[in-house]
Amino acid sequence: MKALYFAWLRERVGLAEETIEPPASVSTVGDLLRWMAGRGENYAHAFERPEVIRAALDKRHARADATIAGASEVAFFPPMTGG
Amino acid sequence: MQKEIFDAGAEAARLAKSDRSVGAVVSFVGYCRDEDGRLAALEIEHYPGMAEAEIARVAAEAEARWPLSGLVAIHRFGLIAAGEPIVFVGAASRHRQAAFAAAEMLMDYLKSKAPFWKRAILADGAKADWVEAAASDDEALRRWSEAKR
């Protein structure tokens, strides 16, 4: 699946987007957040506080218990500060 | 979603002219503050595609909730200098109550649910940290789910 990163997550990861292939054991957004943190030093830094990270599946807000099955795009970002 | 500056007056006038039944237009413009001279600009990042989809979703919710004859939301991204407008929300209706409420709800959603992130560019040109979300913005948003019509 395609992964996108925004704001300080993008800066810490060092990429705006990439393709990821999580193992079958990763079934929810929460699982994915934990798995991402284990992908290397920059990811560990970016995902060190999963409770402050928001996620979207196929451009819709998704909670930690949302299943990732069938999603082709996941995005990770800090709480939004628009307006 | 656009980089360019918008004309808030022209947008509000267009809403007023959209329909002869319009009796009220409420418009809101959010500007980039200079924070007492410390801030030169804001850099706004957004999630293309999702930003449009989220705003359209909330606009549809507002249209289902109040009798509106027009609803407009404009949000800029990129570099925005202090003093420039960032966001425009306008709502037109037969009476003022619906227009005020719809504009306020749309604005509350834009603040904490639409995928935009701000970072300050300081007066000396240095990039500051990303702006942190305010808890008061989440509280403002909760009113709309608790107080259904």
pLDDT at B141: 84
pLDDT tens-digit series, residues A26-67: 999 999 999 999 999 999 999 999 999 999 999 999 999 999
Residue-wise pLDDT for B91-123, tens only, equals 999 999 999 999 999 999 999 899 999 999 999
Give the closest-approach CA distance of A75 to chain B in angstroms.
Answer: 9
pLDDT at B149: 47
Mean local confidence (pLDDT), B12-39: 94
Inter-chain CB proximity A81 and B114 less than 8 Å: no
Angle at B141 between CA B139 and CA A72, to 5 degrees: 120
**CB contact, 8 Å: A12 with chain B?**
no
The answer to whether position B77 is within a domain reads yes
Position B83 in a domain: yes
- Please compute the mean of the pLDDT values over residues B2-16 and round it to a whole number: 96
Number of domains in chain B: 1
Residue A43: partners with Cβ closer than 8 Å, 6 or more residues away: A13, A36, A37
Q: How far is B42 from chain A (nearest CA, A)?
A: 11
Structure tokens at B9: 């007056």
pLDDT at position A6 over 80: yes
- B146 domain residue, yes or no: no
pTM of the model: 0.93
Of B47, B53, B110, the CB nearest to A83: B110
Question: Would B1 be classed as within a structural domain?
Answer: no
Residue B148 confidence (pLDDT) above 60:
no
Q: Is residue A73 exposed (0-12), middle (13-18) or buried (19+ Cβ within 10 Å)? A: middle
B12 in any annotated domain: yes
Chain B residues in contact with A60 (beta carbon < 8 A): 50, 53
| Sign of the C-alpha dihedral computed for residues A80, B76, B33 and B8 taken in this order | negative
Q: Do A78 and B133 touch (CB under 8 A)?
A: yes
pLDDT in tens, B39-82: 999 999 999 999 999 999 999 999 999 999 999 999 999 999 99
| B112 and A CB contact within 8 Å | yes
The stretch A6-29 carries a mean pLDDT of: 97
* B26 beta partners: B91
Q: Residue B83 is part of which domain span?
A: 8-138
CATH number reported for the structural domain that contains residue B79 in this entry: 3.90.1170.40
Pairing type for strands A2-5 and A17-19 reads antiparallel
User: How many beta-carbon pairs under 8 angstroms link A with B?
Assistant: 72
* A75 interfacial to chain B (CB closer than 8 Å): yes
Distance CA A76, CA A61 (A): 10
B71, part of any domain: yes
Alpha carbon distance, N-terminus to C-terminus of chain A = 30
Residue scoring higher pLDDT (B99 or B138):
B99
* DSSP-derived secondary structure letter, B132: P
Among all residues of chain B, which has the CA nearest to that of A4? B47
Q: What angle do CA B61, B110, B3 make, to 5 degrees?
A: 120
Whether residue B126 lies inside any domain: the answer is: yes
* Residue B147 within a domain: no
Complex ipTM value: 0.94
Q: What is the nearest CA distance from B20 to chain A, expressed in angstroms?
A: 30
Is it the case that residue B133 has pLDDT exceeding 90?
A: no
Q: What are phi and psi of B121, to 5 degrees?
A: -105, 120
**CATH code of the domain occupying A2-77:** 3.10.20.30
pLDDT beyond 90 at B147 = no
Return the domain boundaries, chain A: 2-77
